[in-house]
Amino acid sequence: MIRFDEVTYTYAGAPRPAVRELTLQLNPGEILAVLGANGSGKSTLACLVNGLLLPASGRVSVADMDTADESTMWDVRSQVGLVLQDPDDQIVGTVVEEDVAFGPENLGVESAEIRVRVDEVLAIVGLTGFERREPHLLSGGQKQRLAIAGALAMHPDYLVLDEPTAMLDSAGRESVLALIERLRAQGVGILFVTHHLADVIHADRAIVLDEGRVAFTGTPIELLGQEEVLASCGLEVPPLQRVESTLRAAGLPLPTGPLAVESIVEALCN
């Protein structure tokens, strides 16, 4: 389990904390969505999870290991994979397989095991056959999946994704979201940072940050009904959910839970 207990962090020279008195937890096999407008503290939270940033007060722990404890730093970072918003910021290899191997090599994993891991994670993210491709020749979606593969090669229990769909077209976005669903099914705990509610409508839980504090906690579906929270935090209801809400208000009998376009069309035709 990942736990934040009353965590506060302030950047040098900043007029207020980026996150303050933040308490949350992430369980294995769970998707926790972290939403909020730009400047709400989402990316700071992501960097606090695996010790890239350390709390000014409070405690961040991963499997009961304090991220501020230097003696367990590598254990924490091997359990928590971090994928940044811009994949170019963390792609270091000259070809795809070298980039994926970078993390395990730094953990001292044996060469034979690294080869197994590289092949394994490239298959998971759909990049088998790209082993010798130069990263700069990949599309935006492929780069994002490569960054995720690099994190997965360290066999983490948790994956922190900071705005993983922000730079992608619709096809790249769908491929990354489908991958996240598969990882959850495999037991990986995922902290998904975004300001797009549509990306996390199927998350298990959601929190909304506003100026570094938690303004909402609940399910994404519950969040859709909190118009004041959405408006005050600069979040928009996804178009599909706006249509669904309008149809329900008009008395159309729709199935419960989040719906796909096909479900709505079927209900209209019947």
Confidence at residue 256, expressed as pLDDT on a 0 to 100 scale: 62
Q: What pTM, to 2 d.p., does this model score?
A: 0.83
Taking the C-alpha atoms of residue 175 and residue 177, their distance in angstroms, rounded to an integer, is 6
Contact criterion met (CB below 8 Å) for 34 and 93: no
**What class, spelled out in words, does domain 2-228 have in CATH?**
alpha beta
Confidence at residue 65, expressed as pLDDT on a 0 to 100 scale: 96
Closest by alpha carbon to 56, among 46, 64, 65, 48? Answer: 48
Taking the C-alpha atoms of residue 100 and residue 107, their distance in angstroms, rounded to an integer, is 13
What is the distance between the terminal CA atoms of the chain, rounded to a whole angstrom? 45
Contact criterion met (CB below 8 Å) for 167 and 88: no
Strand 2-9 to 65-66 pairing: unpaired
Taking the C-alpha atoms of residue 37 and residue 50, their distance in angstroms, rounded to an integer, is 23
- Kindly compute the dihedral angle of the four CA atoms of residues 125, 131, 133, 137, in this order, to the nearest 10 degrees: 10
Strand 189-194 to 213-218 pairing: unpaired
- Tell me the CA distances in angstroms from 135 to 3, 7, 70, 119, 138, one per residue in order: 35, 37, 33, 16, 5
Confidence at residue 240, expressed as pLDDT on a 0 to 100 scale: 64
Query: Which residue intervals of the chain bear CATH 3.40.50.300?
Result: 2-228
Chunked into runs of 10 residues, the chain (270 residues) has average pLDDT values of 96 94 95 92 94 95 95 91 89 94 90 95 91 93 90 93 83 83 92 88 92 92 82 74 67 62 63
